[in-house]
């Protein structure tokens, strides 16, 4: 696996093996009900459980981005987060080399969250829903997760279409990353956005071709956990799709994913352990010479 460096709060951290981002939804309506948290103490407890099980990043969000989710005002989003982030930070501080990411597409929420103790901005819109986001991230000097989404959460699943889904999204990142670099945003992570403006067929094509995004030279985050691309194929529910999630997590790792964003940290960490046993030298020998 390629080694990446991320600068967080002035310290350089190495990302040399796949790691897990645990999902902490401070929302009443996220698609997987078991991931919903409300109280700061409950959030801190859940975060500590994830850290004990091996999570490196705790991803906190106050706005459900499931298809058709009801809009949330900026004030509502921040009210959900403002006490949770410091509570989780007090737990994260006990575990060296672990971080909090704030899952938001709003620049003002991102800024407040970093000030409150978050380390990383995770923007599902890739800067498309708030034209101040890049400027704010550049000022904050924090890592930035750049995700691809076609449309917005309200309309993204209404007939998404691409000329060639992988090529189109590689082009998106190839255009955005230099722009971010020129603004001083160097610590970037890319996320193809499984389920965000993609059909089931698009999602599986992206997963089969995920290794193509290694050409961007940035860590790849995969958010597959319990999504409809799994339970629609298996004809079950989010609650019954852990086995399918684990299967696709291994596929993502074999295709070069560096970070798994998950609801179930223990099972994802076990998948990574087996992956590293299976592929101790990473996946480079699977690639064609021009892809290395």
- Per-residue CA distances from 118 to 92, 143, 173, 176, 240 (Å): 10, 11, 24, 24, 31
- CA–CA separation, 180 vs 292, rounded Å? 24
Catalytic residue among 94, 171, 261, 266: 261
DSSP letters along 124-191, please?
Answer: TTTTSS-TTHHHHHHHHT--EEEE--SS-TTTTTSS---SSHHHHHHHHHHHHHHHHHHTT---EEEE
The 3-state DSSP class for residue 261 equals: strand
Q: For residue 158, how many other CB atoms are within 10 A of its CB?
A: 11
Give, for 101, the enclosing helix (H) or strand (E): strand 99-103
Active-site annotation holder among 227, 235, 266, 292: 227
82 is catalytic: no
Determine how many CB atoms are found less than 10 A away from the CB of residue 142.
25
Give yes or no for a contact between 102 and 122, defined as CB atoms under 8 angstroms apart.
yes
CA distance 134 to 180: 7
Instruction: Give the E-state strand segments of 42-91 in sequence order.
Output: 57-61
Is 226 tagged catalytic? no
Bridge partners, residue 15, by sequence: 4
Catalytically active residues are: 227, 261
């Amino acid at each position: 696996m390629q080694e990446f460096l991320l600068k967080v709060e002035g310290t350089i951290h190495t990302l040399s093996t796949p790691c897990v981002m645990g999902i902490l939804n401070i929302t009443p309506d996220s698609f997987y009900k078991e991931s919903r948290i409300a109280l700061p103490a409950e959030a801190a407890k859940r975060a500590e459980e994830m850290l004990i099980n091996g999570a490196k990043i705790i991803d906190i969000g106050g706005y459900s981005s499931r298809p058709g989710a009801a809009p949330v005002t900026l004030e509502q989003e921040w009210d959900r987060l403002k006490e949770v982030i410091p509570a989780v930070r007090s737990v994260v501080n006990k575990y060296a080399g672990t971080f909090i990411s704030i899952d938001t597409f709003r620049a003002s929420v991102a800024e407040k969250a970093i000030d409150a103790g978050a380390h990383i901005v995770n923007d599902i819109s890739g800067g498309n829903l708030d034209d101040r986001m890049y400027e704010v991230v550049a000022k904050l000097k924090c890592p930035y997760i750049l995700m691809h989404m076609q449309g917005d959460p309200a309309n993204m699943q209404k007939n998404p279409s691409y000329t060639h889904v992988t090529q189109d999204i590689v082009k998106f990142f190839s255009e955005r990353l230099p722009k971010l670099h020129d603004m001083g945003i160097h610590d970037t992570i890319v996320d193809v956005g499984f389920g965000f403006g993609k059909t089931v067929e698009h999602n599986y094509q992206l997963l089969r071709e995920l290794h193509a995004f290694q050409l961007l030279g940035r860590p790849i985050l995969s958010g597959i956990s319990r999504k409809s691309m799994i339970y629609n194929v298996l004809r079950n529910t989010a609650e019954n799709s852990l086995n399918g999630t684990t299967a696709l997590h291994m596929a993502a790792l074999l295709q070069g994913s560096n970070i798994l964003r998950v609801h179930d940290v223990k099972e994802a960490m076990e998948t990574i352990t087996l992956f590293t046993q299976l592929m101790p030298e990473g996946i480079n020998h699977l690639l064609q010479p021009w892809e290395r």
